[in-house]
């Protein structure tokens, strides 16, 4: 009787492994296919990057189950074989992506192995392994998954906050707002007299400044963009600002460009959106699909600071 139960259980495990293997074809194709993963949407990009973890958790469970049920290996050898196979898959998939324009990322390899560890913990739990073995895999797996989930969580939370605050594009009242910028590491939040600022260090390289790329893109119905900037130096500073939409072809003549002089102290830069719409030479800019506001200094030979207080539509 016990032998019959074990036989039926083994058959059920094999059928489940085959079904899981079939389901794994979808993330495997997405992992290896020559598709464009350079998402303009930051939430889509964050979720795509996080998706490595559940994908490799599934691969891990499948590999462990097949090795155990078909290979008849001991648990230790099963785990070692699975870990080696998944590490090779992680590295090989990143190399393959680098050959089709998607790039090689060690961060993604780390996410892949985090998923593999999570899959191992789930497999051990399903097999009712001793609790010490489960704990030694599940606890670090949960910690790594929680750490990896921070970015998509922050991005999702700021997406909601950005839509609620619109037409204010940024007021720097939350550290999460820095994820709206392409260069968040170059910005530092500051607070003075109850007001919030982002400190931007200019100089040291050509075109140093800030790039606001993530915000509600439909600016139709508004008249101007207001940028409040503080120049703490005692002499003026030249700043160039450009605005482009989703159809921008990366040519100078296909975007809005304007030079400003920041006087010492408080400055308000006002951009007329009618001028933005008329800026491209061969077409009208689509104000319902604005994609970026980039301001920079060409004075690369001198280190300077500015403080941005707010970007808002009016």
- The tokens of 295 are what? 């301001």
1: number of CA atoms within 13 Å, CB side? 0
Distance CA 295, CA 200 (A): 11
Q: Which of 51-55, 76-80, 147-151, 252-256 has the lowest mean pLDDT?
A: 76-80
Q: Write the pLDDT tens digit of every residue in 170-223.
A: 999 999 999 899 877 678 999 888 889 999 988 766 678 899 999 999 999 999
pLDDT band at 28 (very low <50, low <70, confident <90, very high): low
The chain-wide mean pLDDT, for the chain, equals 85
Region 261-289: mean pLDDT is: 95
pLDDT band at 229 (very low <50, low <70, confident <90, very high): very high
Classify 174 in phi/psi space as left (phi over 0), alpha (psi -120 to 50) or beta.
beta
Nearest partner of 253 among 276, 278, 281, judged by Cα:
281
Is pTM beyond 0.85 here? Answer: no
Q: Domain locations in the chain? A: 2-158, 169-313
Q: Which of 31-35, 48-52, 72-76, 195-199 has the lowest mean pLDDT?
A: 31-35
CATH domain 169-313 topology: Jelly Rolls (2.60.120)
Q: Which residues contact 118 (CB under 8 A, 6 or more apart)?
A: 53, 56, 57, 60, 141, 142, 144, 145
């Amino acid at each position: 009787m016990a032998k019959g139960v074990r036989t039926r259980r083994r058959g059920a495990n094999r059928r489940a492994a085959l079904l899981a293997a079939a389901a794994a074809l979808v993330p495997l194709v997405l992992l290896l296919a020559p598709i464009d993963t350079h998402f303009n949407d930051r939430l889509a990009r964050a979720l795509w990057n996080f998706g490595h973890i559940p994908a490799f958790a599934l691969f891990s469970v499948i590999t462990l189950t097949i090795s155990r049920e078909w290979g008849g290996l001991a648990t230790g050898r099963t785990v070692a074989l699975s870990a080696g196979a998944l590490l090779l898959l992680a590295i090989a998939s990143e190399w393959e992506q680098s050959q089709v324009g998607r790039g090689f990322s060690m961060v993604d390899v780390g996410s892949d192995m985090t998923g593999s560890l999570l899959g191992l913990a789930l497999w051990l739990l399903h097999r009712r392994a001793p609790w010490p073995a489960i704990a030694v895999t599940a606890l670090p797996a949960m910690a790594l998954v929680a750490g990896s989930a921070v970015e998509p969580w922050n991005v999702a939370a700021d997406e909601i906050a950005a839509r609620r605050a619109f037409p204010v594009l940024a007021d720097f009242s939350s550290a999460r707002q820095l994820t709206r910028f392409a260069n968040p590491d170059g910005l530092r939040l500051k607070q003075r007299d109850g007001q919030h600022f982002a400190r931007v260090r200019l100089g040291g390289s050509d075109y140093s400044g800030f790039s606001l790329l993530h915000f509600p893109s439909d600016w139709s119905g508004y008249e101007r963009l207001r940028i409040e900037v503080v120049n703490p130096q005692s002499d003026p500073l030249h700043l160039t600002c450009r605005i482009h939409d989703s159809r921008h072809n990366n040519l100078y003549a296909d975007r809005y460009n304007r030079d400003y002089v920041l006087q010492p102290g408080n400055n308000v830069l006002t951009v007329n959106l009618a001028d933005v719409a008329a800026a491209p030479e061969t077409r009208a800019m689509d104000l319902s699909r604005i994609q970026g506001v980039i301001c920079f200094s060409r004075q690369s030979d001198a280190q300077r600071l500015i403080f941005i207080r707010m970007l808002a539509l009016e």
